Structure 1
Amino acid sequence: MEAGSSRWNEITPSPHPHERAALEHVRDLLPDRHPYQAWSNFTFTSDQGHVREVDLLVAAPTGLYLIEIKNFRGRLTNHNATWVLQGDHSRRTFDNPLPLADQKAKELKGLLTRAAARDRGIRPPFIRAVIFLAEPGMTCALDTDQRHGLFGPQDGRQLDRIGDELLLAPVTHTPPQPEFLRALPRLLERVGIHRTRRSVTVGPWRIEPRPYDQGPTWQDHDAGREDVDTAYRRIRIYLYERESDPDARESIRRAAQREFSAAQGIQHPGLLVPQDLHDHEMGPALVIEQERDAQRLDHFLAQHRGALDLPARLGMVRQLAEAVGYAHERRLVHRALSPRAVVVEGGPDDPRLRVGEWQAASRGVSSSTTRHRVVPTSHAGQHVEAAAGPYLAPEFTAEADGTVAIDVFGLGAIAYLLVTGRSPAEGRAQLMDRLATDGGLHPSAVSDTVPPEIDALVALATAPVVNDRYGDVEEFLNDLDEIDRRPEPVPDDLDPWDATENAELPDGSVVLRVLGTGATARAFHVRRDGLDSVLKVSRNAAAEERLDDEATALEGLRHDHLVVLKRGVFPLGPRHAIEIDHAGERTLAQLLRQDGALLADQLQRFGNQLLEVLDYLQRHDTFHRDIKPDNLAVRTHPKRGSSLVLFDFSLAGAPSSDVLAGTHGYRDPFLGTDRRPTYDAAAERYAAAMTLHEMASLELPVWGGRHRPAVRGAGEAVRGAVRQCPA
């Protein structure tokens, strides 16, 4: 077929020489006669709103073919369903492209069928999706099950040839209708195929029109800025359906708003949250800040699995657990943890995990029967990619359970992948069968090198029955601490951030326990000169300011129910730290989860202590900014009994204009209005009142109605909350 043939329809000229060469290779093979026809480089919009790019659509006597062209150079292998391309100077990972091409083919067939409805008797045939690996020098070392639907050049020897074995093959089954083949050009016109757009803008960001990842209702794009060459963002577009009505569009807008709002006010290096939300003709678009070279966790493992030993993998489990635990402390439950929801920045020597994909998340309240119960987002499951199925807790599909236990399961399932290098199951059904048979996921079933304690950790996290799992991430981390103790001598140049039990820090302190990791610091229970205290070590130079704010807020404060500053900011090896006294062995939040609601005398005593310290802070012009049970320690004295101690003043230096600082549920919802534009004493009292309510009932009040309390007005909102409170 010649380049100028009327049967070769170049909808969009390709700007890439290698793609033009691949198209020319196919064109030269095709006879210039009926029924051969071809359309190259066009887009169509699926019923779900996805803008699909098609490299080549070919009609032949044997059928209709949607051809995805891949110009890979190097050696192509796979790890499970992830493809790995090793070039001369680089290594790339990506999903097998055939499932997506097949999805495009099914969507296009559906549109053609609808377009042919007005033409009696015309039935579009099955459209076969294939992958054309066009580079003749490429080495294909894929497993047999990954070679399905792959074709190579006509003169190649590694794969079936695109000509003889596909486009020019003899007819061996029922061919397409002659009427359909003649009608195909006008049917494609009715479908509305278009030229491929080379760039799209979302606010100030210029996005690549071809998405690099996509789910059932969204697609992700790379984006840059013309005015800042080095700027990069990930743009997620929630797609309007092809023929959606105003109500359907509003539903999509609400879904995007939920993901945008879910993690607002929460900042942690391990959490990947949307920065901004823009309207766009394709649908609402979220702007997400991440590194340009960030990889999905499953792709990262496929690419670097040989460079990660067991301690490194357990370190990645810890990172993930600490980030998820931080979100839980702020009443944010992810609900759909999977490797697709985790990106890795950096290389195998310093992997940094970040949890994203908040489309199914919920902000919640606590419960006496379930810890930190949340109200799941309506229809949240429709926004979660099916490939996440082998990692989702059994209760996910019921949409009835939103406790932190749902994330404990996801954490355990990802730990299974990190430890074994294998997915827990091939699909959702196989996962459920395995859980029913084994009572949890056991890495030892596929690897005889997994230590028994790690096998037990993963199995307990993934128990199919909620009450049989770890109650929360903290319990999971405590057992991980037991596993992760270092038997070897601690090196002299140990970074304090990486210290574990029994490590001696540069100031002579000996680590007794790692208490936890927050957005800006890691806390260690230490002993020095026979006295116990807590060291908070800065995450990085930028976090030192928050430590200084905390030290400044505590300096000069002395109260029985306040933590005491022992040393202000001081250098600790390559980092900086502050030292405070050890407030207690467990927090009020832990006490409530483990022992239940307070008895009347406890409630009276703890309530008075909380109000006393609140009054003291007000008289000293100090705001804590994050009063909640997680920041109240329970200190036990042999003669005076138990008492509360307020700690973690890391937000005390937040500007009064930042009304989103703090934790959802304890943060005053009436802030940020014209009447109360900045943080005030009433907001501090509001957080204390919510804490008192939880001490008595194990619940946070639930605001009645469908609107934000600040929008409805205080009187109506409070009445709604009272109606919603448990008896």
Structure 2
Amino acid sequence: MIQNDRWTTVTPWFFSDEPTAMESIRQSLSEDGPHRAWANFSFLADSGHLHSVDLLVAGPGGVHLLEVDVSQGRLRNEDGIWLRTRSGNTKASDSTRDVAEVKARHLTAALRRAAAGRFLAVPEVRGSAYLSDPRSSVDLTGPAARGVFGPDEPANPSLPRLARDLLEQPAGDRAERPGRRFLRALPGLLERIGMHPVEHWPRVGTWQLTPKPVALTDRWQDFVAWSTVWDKAPCRVRVYAPGASRTRTDEAVLREYLLLRELDHPGIVTVDTLEHHPPGPVLMFHVEKKQLLRLDHILSLYRSLFTPEVRADMIRQIGAGLAHAHDRQIAHCALSTRAVMGIPRPAQGESVNDGWRDPGLQITDWHHAAVAAAATEDAPAPASVTRDLRGLVAVAREICAGAAPADGFAGLPEHLAAEQEFARIRPAEQVRRLTHRLAEDALSPAAGPAVPVTR
């Protein structure tokens, strides 16, 4: 077991199962080994993101950032989404390993900045996921299984062991192999990048945020927040990374806020307020219900419930929102299932879960659109219109995955563009006609039921 002088817990753990998970890692590392570990700390990335780190372990075999997942139940993956089932209830999330890799990439950049001018080679920090519950059934396949580890004792037969197969293994890549000078300098480098305790319940004004973001990219972090003053429904909070220039980021987010205030449509997300926050500018989005899922998560969980009529209606909702934007000479430029949010719409007397049979959808992620709109006062460039048409087709294909017409969607924008009349009409009308074609194909008798989702 690694000794306390080489294991530093920067912040006391908030939840009771987290110290147990950490202790299992500490027990698995050899007492006389050269490893150093830092648990539960935050650092400020060069992008301006404030990241929390569950565990950082450094040794001759490499520098490893571990995102610890204490969840229980059966875990499997579908199209990059993690699906965890417990007591008959399935939830979708982004891959814990993917989150660890984003943080590891940012930590590498911060350490290299701190080491600049010291003639010190800083290796790549490797991000991995640690699933601490040995009783969980894990069935990850393909790329989703890479970089995911379980405890050494008692071992989970479906996972490689963390210490034996990762932490105590020699680094295979020279870029990941730390030198002795770097290992001696690492504690000082962590201090230089501002390693500090984790704030368990961060706040934006009078809103209290979830301890960890529910979504993370290089540009922003999404949280769910609750008001500490009013009895209000939860709010979706997006904290933007300041990047190289806080002023330019503030201006870009202000443009996005003003754009969303103008795009008042049921198929487009509603923004409540713009807040200024030390970690970065914040947009706060209105949420009608506590349940709010990205479309890619909705499809992974509930696609088997959709009738052809529902699939057609989902395409129409997204197409209507997109056409509304093009009516105002705005192109989204980044439409995908990750850029659409959904809420359940239960009928009278139905449960909330029944409401996912017919979800309400709204397009979000209008950052690229705001930047493009500010760059020119003209209508969107033809390339931007084409990108939106192809994005709409890609989303429709995902909605109709397993149905016969989905494969025929691929060349539809090009097929329509070849028609003289289609090429002459306004972009908004192009979106509407494409939406009509996609919805009609989704209703085709050949579509049949969606492929059932294995539970």
Same structural fold, with TM-score higher than 0.5 when normalized by the shorter chain: yes
Query: Quick one: distance in 2 between partners of 1:273 and 1:406?
Result: 23
Q: Following TM superposition, by how much is the alpha carbon of 1:167 offset from its aligned partner in structure 2, in angstroms? A: 2.3
Q: Following TM superposition, by how much is the alpha carbon of 1:240 offset from its aligned partner in structure 2, in angstroms? A: 1.6
- Structure 2 portions without partners, runs of 5+: 345-354, 446-455
> Is the 2:240–2:281 Cα contact (8 Å) retained in structure 1?
yes
1:359 is aligned, of 367, 381, 385, to 367
Q: Which residue of 2 aligns with 1:84?
A: 83
Q: Deviations over 1:449-476 (max 9, x none)?
A: 514xx76565323669698877512222
Which protein is bigger by CA-based radius of gyration? 1
Q: Which residue of 2 aligns with 1:333?
A: 331
Q: Deviations over 1:491-545 (max 9, x none)?
A: xxxxxxxxxxxxxxxxxxxxxxxxxxxxxxxxxxxxxxxxxxxxxxxxxxxxxxx
Query: Quick one: distance in 2 between partners of 1:171 and 1:332?
Result: 49
Q: Following TM superposition, by how much is the alpha carbon of 1:15 offset from its aligned partner in structure 2, in angstroms? A: 1.0
Name the amino acid aligned to 1:474.
R
2:314 is aligned, of 313, 316, 321, to 316
Q: Which residue of 2 aligns with 1:225?
A: 227
SS in 1 for 2:357: coil
1:476 is aligned, of 434, 437, 444, to 434
**% same residue:** 33
Shift in alpha-carbon separation, 1:215–1:168, aligned structure 2, 3 A:
closer
Q: Which residue of 1 aligns with 2:411?
A: 459
Q: Which residue of 1 aligns with 2:265?
A: 268
Q: Which residue of 2 aligns with 1:418?
A: 399
Q: Following TM superposition, by how much is the alpha carbon of 1:330 offset from its aligned partner in structure 2, in angstroms? A: 4.0
Name the amino acid aligned to 1:225.
S
Q: Which residue of 2 aligns with 1:51?
A: 50
Shift in alpha-carbon separation, 1:8–1:481, aligned structure 2, 3 A:
closer
SS in 2 for 1:360: helix
Shift in alpha-carbon separation, 1:377–1:462, aligned structure 2, 3 A:
farther
> Is the 1:457–1:476 Cα contact (8 Å) retained in structure 2?
no
SS in 2 for 1:420: coil
> Is the 1:415–1:458 Cα contact (8 Å) retained in structure 2?
no
> Is the 2:269–2:364 Cα contact (8 Å) retained in structure 1?
yes
Name the amino acid aligned to 1:233.
C
Q: Which residue of 2 aligns with 1:6?
A: 5
> Is the 2:209–2:224 Cα contact (8 Å) retained in structure 1?
yes
Query: Quick one: distance in 2 between partners of 1:167 and 1:273?
Result: 46
Stretches of 4+ aligned residues off by more than 6 angstroms: 170-174, 464-470, 484-487
Q: Following TM superposition, by how much is the alpha carbon of 1:55 offset from its aligned partner in structure 2, in angstroms? A: 0.5
Q: Which residue of 2 aligns with 1:644?
A: none
- Structure 1 portions without partners, runs of 5+: 364-374, 380-398, 422-448, 488-727
Point out which structure has higher relative CO (alpha carbons under 8 A, 6+ apart): 2
SS in 2 for 1:76: strand
> Is the 1:335–1:402 Cα contact (8 Å) retained in structure 2?
no
Shift in alpha-carbon separation, 1:14–1:260, aligned structure 2, 3 A:
same
Q: Deviations over 1:236-292 (max 9, x none)?
A: 122223xx5xxx222111110111011324432221031211111112111101233
SS in 1 for 2:188: helix
Name the amino acid aligned to 1:416.
R
Q: TM-score, normalised by structure 1?
A: 0.54
> Is the 2:202–2:211 Cα contact (8 Å) retained in structure 1?
yes
Q: Which residue of 1 aligns with 2:164?
A: 164
Shift in alpha-carbon separation, 1:106–1:457, aligned structure 2, 3 A:
closer
Query: Quick one: distance in 2 between partners of 1:400 and 1:322?
Result: 20
Name the amino acid aligned to 2:228.
E
Q: Following TM superposition, by how much is the alpha carbon of 1:480 offset from its aligned partner in structure 2, in angstroms? A: 5.1
Q: Following TM superposition, by how much is the alpha carbon of 1:377 offset from its aligned partner in structure 2, in angstroms? A: 4.0
Moved more, 403-412 or 129-138: 403-412
Q: Which residue of 2 aligns with 1:41?
A: 40
Q: Following TM superposition, by how much is the alpha carbon of 1:311 offset from its aligned partner in structure 2, in angstroms? A: 2.9
Shift in alpha-carbon separation, 1:186–1:479, aligned structure 2, 3 A:
closer
SS in 1 for 2:250: helix
> Is the 1:54–1:68 Cα contact (8 Å) retained in structure 2?
yes
Q: Following TM superposition, by how much is the alpha carbon of 1:316 offset from its aligned partner in structure 2, in angstroms? A: 1.0
> Is the 1:105–1:129 Cα contact (8 Å) retained in structure 2?
yes
Q: Following TM superposition, by how much is the alpha carbon of 1:170 offset from its aligned partner in structure 2, in angstroms? A: 6.2
Query: Quick one: distance in 1 between partners of 2:117 and 2:439?
Result: 67
Shift in alpha-carbon separation, 1:19–1:465, aligned structure 2, 3 A:
farther
> Is the 2:267–2:321 Cα contact (8 Å) retained in structure 1?
yes
Shift in alpha-carbon separation, 1:413–1:138, aligned structure 2, 3 A:
same
Name the amino acid aligned to 1:407.
D
> Is the 2:61–2:171 Cα contact (8 Å) retained in structure 1?
yes
SS in 2 for 1:69: strand
Q: Which residue of 1 aligns with 2:301?
A: 303
Query: Quick one: distance in 2 between partners of 1:23 and 1:47?
Result: 28
Count the aligned residue pairs. 421
| 1:281 corresponds to 2:243 | no
Q: Which residue of 2 aligns with 1:136?
A: 134
Shift in alpha-carbon separation, 1:400–1:486, aligned structure 2, 3 A:
closer
Query: Quick one: distance in 2 between partners of 1:320 and 1:171?
Result: 47
Q: Which residue of 2 aligns with 1:200?
A: 202
SS in 1 for 2:21: helix
Q: TM-score, normalised by structure 2?
A: 0.84
Alignment of 1:114-263 (within 5 A): 114-120=113-119, 122-154=120-152, 155-156=154-155, 157-169=157-169, 176-241=178-243, 244=244, 248-263=245-260
> Is the 1:62–1:173 Cα contact (8 Å) retained in structure 2?
no
Moved more, 25-34 or 270-279: 25-34
Name the amino acid aligned to 1:59.
A
Q: Which residue of 2 aligns with 1:685?
A: none
